[in-house]
Structure 1
Amino acid sequence: MDLQFGSYRLKRAERLLLGPEGPVELSARSFDILAMLLGRPDEVIGKSELFDAVWPGVVVEENTLQVHISALRKTLDPGMIMTVHGRGYKYAGPRPALAQASNGAGEPASQTAAEKSHKPSIAVLPFDNMSGDPEQGYFSDGITEDIIAELGRFKEFLVIARNSSFQFRGKANDVAEVAKRLGVQYVVEGSVRKIGNRVRVTVQLIDAASTAHVWGEHYDRELTDIFAIQDEITQMIAARLARQARTAIASYTRARPTDNMSAYDFYLRALQLAATYDTVREAEPFLRQAVRLDPRFAAAHAMLGFVESIKFYWTNSDHDYLHAGLEMAKTALQLDPDEAYGHLAAGFALLYLHRFKQAEISLDRAVALNPNDPFILSIRALLLNYTSRPEEGLREIHEAQRRDPFALGWYEDFRGLILTTAGRYREATACYAKMETMTSWSLAYLTICHFELGEIKQAQDTLAKLKAIWPELGIDEIADNEVGYFEDPAVCNRYGAILKSVNARMT
């Protein structure tokens, strides 16, 4: 049952924490630690016991536990988590009590005003390129993406991702209509003019309901000041929304990502290419130029690590790309331990190297650093799926799509995979039916769905399409490549056996 403690509610079945303002962002490990402390409110729980329960069978550094305890203290009211020096940690807030499951009217009693409330939601539309040179579009796009990413670090807000907000590029947009289509309360518009070593940025924050200007500013500075401009824009927007979020926005200024503006220029070009599945590999030469010009450019190393790892998808599951990507991610994190995409790149590589516990630590950290990035949420959804938690994975995919509602193909692919694991085969086939282009792994899981539904002819037709993608591989290799990434080997064996059974009926 749910646990009520003070103004918070721990929904154990849903693995959800509700606070005074609604759902609270919490990593899976932090949730487990909190649940353990609340379950034994009169006891001091030792660090070793927490490690054994939350990271079973995994050796992790002690500061990993401290990071999660610190995250809980920032999330909860002061004094709720107590350190008992030399012994461990203890819950010290209002005594937890079991909460009623329903209110007798068919609606969960836990659906309080806090649960029904929503975070302030915002979309940053692509800034107009006012330089007079269409080739400079990557620069204004990059500035927009950077502001989206920085706003995404504030867990108090829901921020729409780049792919969806960029659907409105170059259009005479009605702010109210844009807000309605994206499901947000606030919209940011702006423009960028880059001429030589000068940059001019204008920006305005608009309340979509009233179309009133909440805040606006005009910047005319040296190009080297672009990071300070972005930080100021982020801070001013966050400050304007903080009152509605009822949270204090701490002074936040990121470290300057690079002092080399040429390296930053290459990085912005790479960001534009990395935004879509079809062009992500084309980002590599620009990223390599960026790290060559500035070997300490952590964000460029991180993105390069991810691009290197994702080559694994386009090859015959060549693990060398994963190992190389992991090393690049480690370089990024040595330069900046708080680089979210460094943790994403590490988590992605570790996931497909079957190092699931380490992958979860990396992806939890990536989400904690940028809880609004839909791709980070999506990769963690895959981790949850591959570790036999498909229902949690579906909730994560829902959160990702809420932040990027126009990226339908990508999410239907992932959702179909996870629904297959959950045994919801008919729903999975409906997801795959929405996809214009099927990936090899989606064909594998669609084959499984048809087989489980007794649709043998459809299963054979789908498997034939998959075999045409990998004509040089036998069915055993295809099975290993497409369905061999679950932590539980029994799942891999069962799915592999289905593909082989369908193949045998074709010959």
Structure 2
Amino acid sequence: MERRLAAIVIADVAGFSRMVAEDEAGTIERMRELRDTVTEPAIENAGGRIVKRTGDGTLVEFSSVVGAVEGAIDVQRQLAEIANADPEDRRFILRIGVHLGEVLVEADGDIHGDGVNVAARLEALCAPGEILVSGAVWDHLEGRLDVRAEELGLRELKNIPRKVALHRLIPVEGPVAASPAPDQGKASLPLADKPSIVVLPFDDMSKDADSGFLADGLVEDVTTALSRFRSLFVIARNTAFSYRGKAINVADVGRELGVQYVLEGSVRRAGDRVRVTAQLIDATADRHIWAEKYDRNLDDIFAIQDELTQAIAMAVAPSIRAEEITASADRDPGSLSLREKLARAWWHLQRYTAEDGEAARAVLTSALEESPRNATALAFIAQSYVFDGLYGWGRPQPESIRLAIETATQALMCDPDDENAQVHLAIALFIAKQHSEAARHLERVLESNPNHATAMGSLGMVLTYMHDHRADTLLKRAARLSPRDVWTSMFVGHRGMIAFIKGDDETALSYFREGLRIAPRNASLLRGEVTALAHLGRLVEAKDCYARLLEVAPGVTQTITRNGVMFVYEADASRFCEGLGRVGMPE
């Protein structure tokens, strides 16, 4: 067999299994049509050789690295344009992996070897509509292609004995690229660079409808305890709870979130007894590491939490010191009835409505009657006032922020280490434009809990306006820790604000639009899109976006913007408002 160096491209269709299950004949016919009219002509034009097809997948060999990537970009852009006219659940969007390496060539033209294996791993990790390339490919590309790229660092790939540098190429800016529903066995995010885990919501098997809050509280506490291990990468609870009530495949969850381990389980409550079952799964290998069942008195629920945390930590990160594991056991949060009230209040707060904020405060008021110095209850109340201030619910913004600061400060007097109180005091101070104080509180949280996504992203937002170079890294990592979090759109949007402040309006626009794909009616992001478009001279688009902004925030003015956006420097505020003025926003 001949041995040679080649650029290897492997591609397959995102969501193909689902589409075939829904309409087998139509899906296969459409795939063949797009092969004949788009993918194969693009491959031929770029100088590629189709080695073989495997169902919805294609293996291609190129002699030129640049040609391989140019062909992949051409295919993705053509398919994205076609997909704009298709229903969202019937779009043909590819995942593509590209690697440069040695291959063995058989007499019939088939190829094998390390080069093919690495390309296959990259394709499996790639997000729909994007291209994942290895460091060997990237070394030949820098500066040669007009495509947005993002460095992902060194990553371990399954069955590859060395770490591989990865780079993400984004050929298409817009919602089409990410539109296919998660497929069986495919991924959206590469694995984190250290042991990584998501704790999924536990199933409530009890007859009592209210006992679901017991399960939620257990999951939240285990997640928080694991987050404190610097040796672990822990997906934030807001993202984990987005899977509640859904029929899921554990391997798919691991791929979607880019984590190796998934913890799932159930809680069954009967009278004063509780049964908790838990199983830890290696999602990358689809194998069980361990399963455990706890039959206890209800009062022992906190001991179960501690045992779970320690068992998981030992299983996924053996290098964690014994004393660090011991220190992870949380303080006793109080009686079980109090615990359930806190879990119920947190559930309301995650719904992000004015009515749920009021409902949470009612539950928390009852909790404080039982435990007047409970820092968690006070921190949750502060959180509800922060939301009121952000969205203009219930009372004038300054009043809501004053209440948030007062309540969070009271919580910290009860427990100076309460992370939720620190975070929401910081956000309230940020809204009040006390940037340095806000940053101090958030940095303190991250010292004790390096996986706290909200603290990390909030610090990134604060530092954005302070022109601190750390901001972009913090925002990027926060979005990775909690990709399904309601805050993620703002983390992404503030990466756009960083670019805008630097005068890079094109990059700013791409990030504002990426945030709007997550939260289409976010007024802050719409304002960013308007001003970026205006500064780019694209006034027709800017005015269309301004019309959408007025639907969300009909009374918005330049003065409201100056007061509501947390600018530190007058030059930043003036440039931002200048763009808004170009589309007719009143002062």
Kindly report which structure 2 residues correspond to 1:307-386, keeping only aligned pairs within 5 A, or say none: 307-315=384-392, 318-386=397-465
Give the counterpart of 1:268 among 343, 368, 371.
Answer: 343
Please state if 1:477 is matched with 2:559: yes
Deviation at 1:347, TM superposition (A): 0.8
Q: Retained in 1: the 8 A contact 2:386–2:401?
A: yes
Q: Retained in 2: the 8 A contact 1:193–1:201?
A: yes
Deviation at 1:253, TM superposition (A): 4.9
Distance 2:340 2:494 in 1: 37
- 1:233-254 CA deviation, whole Å, 9 max, x = no partner? 1122112223256886342254
Partner of 2:549: 466
Give the counterpart of 2:531 among 438, 444, 448.
Answer: 448
Kindly report which structure 2 residues correspond to 1:487-502, keeping only aligned pairs within 5 A, or say none: 487-502=568-583
TM-score, length of structure 1 as denominator length = 0.71
Amino acid at match of 2:326: S
Structure-2 change in CA distance of 1:111 and 1:216 (3 Å)? closer
Deviation at 1:257, TM superposition (A): 4.2
Q: Retained in 2: the 8 A contact 1:303–1:341?
A: yes
Please state if 1:422 is matched with 2:513: no
Distance 2:553 2:214 in 1: 39
Distance 1:399 1:221 in 2: 39
RMSD: 3.1
Kindly report which structure 2 residues correspond to 1:11-22, keeping only aligned pairs within 5 A, or say none: none
SS of residue paired to 2:352 = coil
Gaps of 5+ in 1: 1-103
Gaps of 5+ in 2: 1-137, 143-150, 156-161, 166-191, 501-506
Amino acid at match of 1:288: T
Partner of 2:299: 224
Amino acid at match of 1:379: S
Partner of 1:151: 226
SS of residue paired to 1:138 = helix
Give the counterpart of 2:475 among 397, 409, 412.
Answer: 397
Deviation at 1:371, TM superposition (A): 2.0
- 1:171-214 CA deviation, whole Å, 9 max, x = no partner? 55433232222211111121111223322211122223444433
Distance 2:493 2:380 in 1: 27
SS of residue paired to 1:405 = coil
Please state if 1:242 is matched with 2:325: no
Please identify the structure whose Cα radius of gyration is greater: 2
SS of residue paired to 1:243 = coil
Deviates more, 1:245-254 or 1:323-332: 245-254
Please state if 1:251 is matched with 2:326: yes
Distance 1:329 1:213 in 2: 42
Kindly report which structure 2 residues correspond to 1:52-63, keeping only aligned pairs within 5 A, or say none: none
Larger RCO: 1 or 2 (CA < 8 Å, sep 6+): 1
Give the counterpart of 1:302 among 379, 382, 392.
Answer: 379
Q: Retained in 1: the 8 A contact 2:534–2:579?
A: yes
SS of residue paired to 2:344 = helix
Q: Retained in 2: the 8 A contact 1:374–1:401?
A: yes
Deviation at 1:111, TM superposition (A): 7.0
Q: Retained in 2: the 8 A contact 1:235–1:252?
A: no
Structure-2 change in CA distance of 1:161 and 1:194 (3 Å)? same
Deviation at 1:444, TM superposition (A): 1.5
Amino acid at match of 2:544: D
Partner of 1:200: 275
Amino acid at match of 1:438: R
Structure-2 change in CA distance of 1:420 and 1:455 (3 Å)? farther
Give the counterpart of 1:287 among 357, 360, 364.
Answer: 364
- 1:445-479 CA deviation, whole Å, 9 max, x = no partner? 11111111111122233334434545456x24322
TM-score, length of structure 2 as denominator length = 0.62
Q: Retained in 2: the 8 A contact 1:260–1:293?
A: no
Structure-2 change in CA distance of 1:264 and 1:190 (3 Å)? same
SS of residue paired to 2:326 = coil
Amino acid at match of 2:368: V
Q: Retained in 1: the 8 A contact 2:310–2:325?
A: no
Equivalent pairs, count: 398
- 1:354-383 CA deviation, whole Å, 9 max, x = no partner? 111111110111222322232222211211
Amino acid at match of 1:368: E
Amino acid at match of 2:577: G
Distance 1:135 1:284 in 2: 18
